[in-house]
Amino acid sequence: MNGADVVATILAREGTEFLSCYPRNPLIEACAKLDIRPILCRQERVGVGIADGYTRVRRGRVNGVFAVQQGPGIENAFAGVAQAHAENVPILILPAGAGLDRQYRHPTFSAADVFAPVTKWAARIHDAAEIPDALRQAYHALRTGKGGPVLVEIPAEVWEQEFDGEVDYMPVEALAAAPDPAAVARAVDMLLEAEHPLLWAGQGVLYADASDELMELAEFLPAPVMTTNPGKSAFPENHPLAVGASTRSRPRMLVEMMKRADVVLAVGSSLTRTPFGPMIPPDKRIIHATNDPADINKDYRVDHGVVGDAKLVLAMLGAEIRSRKEGSPPAAAMERLAGEIAAVRAVWLGDWEAQLRSDEVPINQYRLIADLMDAVDPDEVIITHDSGGPREQLLPFWQATAPLGYLGWGKSTQLGYGLGLNMGARLAAPDKLCINVMGDAAIGMTGMDLETAARNGIGTLTIVFNNGVMAAERDVLKTSTAKYGALTVSGNYAMVAEGLGVAAARVETPDAFRPALEEARKVTESDRPFLIECLVKEGYDFSREHLEGL
């Protein structure tokens, strides 16, 4: 065996089903020999996105892997790894590296050094004998504590170096830390003393598979539940205590419940302050439960911290509250709270009804979202968005009903990232309808990788909102646009898709969307991708209910 064979053997033992890759890396051939399928992307950051989406849907139990050539390949991948780092996604990056004799000469791109700020752990292997230990440490970093990309750079001669003996490697188990019982008891004291507790769920609840524990806690308190953008779908949004998720845009129920909350329990969340996520106003008491103690008191003054895995934290909180309440969930209190949430939701949706059912041309994006919700079973869908308008329009109104039915992202906001996520999701869940909603600026960044889906038989559905303008910059490029049309973009993306071997439809009126969707579903069920291009209005209305601090 050589070094590449050793790495491939370890990936196989870790359950790796496919290798997202581009294009000259000895690992690709070594993996193919072991029936690990290569998915060769067109652009490196899309390859990272494919590994990202797969990892999320598998909850990190099997980690997506991206292999890439040295130099320009790993250089081009930086943006994708940086996005995964912002979203705390545990993916393994395996770049080829320059020869050992070039490591400290210039100009040489050293991935282990350059990627250190955007990875949880980064290392370089110097000898094939180091491979098992290095990958054991890499997988431990991927599966323990807060997630994040891990990079292991392998120089040219190490791939080819002969490896003596057997590969001493067993799959790495995920470790979960339980919280201090005294910290749990104090958190329960605060929750039961509160008049209006609010539960804030992050994506750690999804990785910990803790949605059931979250629901039980919410019902026993009772308390409304909101989620972050990456945490959306951790709590079923058709549950009477659900108030939705937040980026800059958010449902009115979330705002009203946050306004009156006196104690906020954030669980499975880093509570990172970001322009594209929710914030907690300064008059709230905060209980912060996280698996990373470095998150506590990072961006907020926290009244009480609990360190531990989200599933174990929620289970212990629930058990403590059940023991103190000595009975079933308080039905009357829950019914009253559910009624208050439902009343706010009804008024909010009423205010948006004209847009959600609009017949205008160009098409109103909210009409498309409403029609999509009506036409599919959200339990059988995995949907993601792209950056900018599509994220802000989709998130408040899409009702996620099953864990991981929605892949949210946005601490960084790279246009085009959702396309790779969508492909990775479909590879992880081939029985689901996997949808990516993106804008015309986003498809301009990564649209060539539609061909990757066609070539590899990945049955994804891409919905493009084409309004002919880069909308997010309209407030900062007024003169440039007025004088030179700086924000104007154009294209017939259905024609582009067809040229890449992807079936497509161009929708110009609202009533044409549902027939196109039915055609798309039939095509994707046969493991072929489909693109629906929708000619939409500029669409600058967002559900941005005001709350100081949000």
Edge-first strand listing for the sheet containing 65-68: 37-40, 18-22, 65-68, 92-97, 150-155, 121-124
Q: For residue 384, list its beta bridge partners.
A: 407, 436
User: Which letter does DSSP use for residue 5 in this model?
Assistant: H
Is 265 in contact with 205 (CB distance < 8 Å)? no
> Quick one: tokens of 360?
């205008």
69 within some domain: yes
Model pLDDT, residue 549: 53
SS3 content of the chain, % helix, strand, coil (to 5): 45, 20, 40
Q: Looking at the structure, tell me whether residues 361 and 510 fall in a common domain.
A: yes
Model pLDDT, residue 56: 98
Residue with structure tokens 């601490």?
A: 411
- Cα distance between residue 184 and residue 319, in whole Å: 10
CATH of the domain at 185: 3.40.50.1220
Q: Looking at the structure, tell me whether residues 334 and 370 fall in a common domain.
A: no
Q: SS3 sequence, 197-243?
A: EEEEECCHHHHCCCHHHHHHHHHHCCCCEEEECCCCCCCCCCCCCEE
Model pLDDT, residue 459: 98
Is 426 in contact with 399 (CB distance < 8 Å)? no
241 within some domain: yes
Q: Looking at the structure, tell me whether residues 362 and 311 fall in a common domain.
A: no
Q: Which residues contact 246 (CB under 8 A, 6 or more apart)?
A: 226, 227, 228, 229, 254, 277, 278, 395, 550
- Cα distance between residue 435 and residue 531, in whole Å: 10
> Quick one: tokens of 76?
């081009």
418 within some domain: yes
Q: How many CB atoms lie within 10 A of CB 479?
A: 9
CATH of the domain at 65: 3.40.50.970
Q: Which residues contact 197 (CB under 8 A, 6 or more apart)?
A: 191, 221, 223, 261, 262, 263, 264, 265
Q: List phi, psi (to 5°) of 133.
A: -65, -40
33 within some domain: yes
Q: How far is CA 97 from the centre of its chain?
A: 29
Q: Looking at the structure, tell me whether residues 8 and 97 fall in a common domain.
A: yes
What's the domain range around 9?
Answer: 3-160
H helix or E strand, kind and range, residue 439: strand 433-439
3 state SS of 92: strand
Is 273 in contact with 290 (CB distance < 8 Å)? no
Q: Which residues contact 383 (CB under 8 A, 6 or more apart)?
A: 394, 398, 400, 405, 406, 407, 434, 435, 436, 437
pTM, full prediction: 0.97
Q: Looking at the structure, tell me whether residues 519 and 380 fall in a common domain.
A: yes
Q: Looking at the structure, tell me whether residues 315 and 428 fall in a common domain.
A: no
Q: Looking at the structure, tell me whether residues 373 and 306 fall in a common domain.
A: no
Model pLDDT, residue 547: 63
167 within some domain: no
Q: Looking at the structure, tell me whether residues 322 and 398 fall in a common domain.
A: no
Q: Looking at the structure, tell me whether residues 338 and 361 fall in a common domain.
A: no
Task: Let me know if 153 is exposed, middle or buried by CB neighbors in 10 A (0-12, 13-18, 19+).
Answer: buried
Model pLDDT, residue 121: 98
Task: Let me know if 433 is exposed, middle or buried by CB neighbors in 10 A (0-12, 13-18, 19+).
Answer: buried
287 within some domain: yes
Report the candidate in 362, 356, 368 with the shortest Cα–Cα distance to residue 513. Answer: 368
Q: Looking at the structure, tell me whether residues 112 and 204 fall in a common domain.
A: no
Q: Which residues contact 399 (CB under 8 A, 6 or more apart)?
A: 237, 238, 373, 378
Q: Looking at the structure, tell me whether residues 202 and 338 fall in a common domain.
A: yes
Is 73 in contact with 153 (CB distance < 8 Å)? no
531 within some domain: yes
The stretches in the chain having pLDDT less than 50 are none
Of 126, 160, 194, at which residue does a domain stop? 160
Of 298, 320, 343, at which residue does a domain stop? 343
Q: How many CB atoms lie within 10 A of CB 499?
A: 11
Q: Looking at the structure, tell me whether residues 114 and 250 fall in a common domain.
A: no
155 within some domain: yes
- Cα distance between residue 478 and residue 262, in whole Å: 42
Report the domain count for the chain. Answer: 3
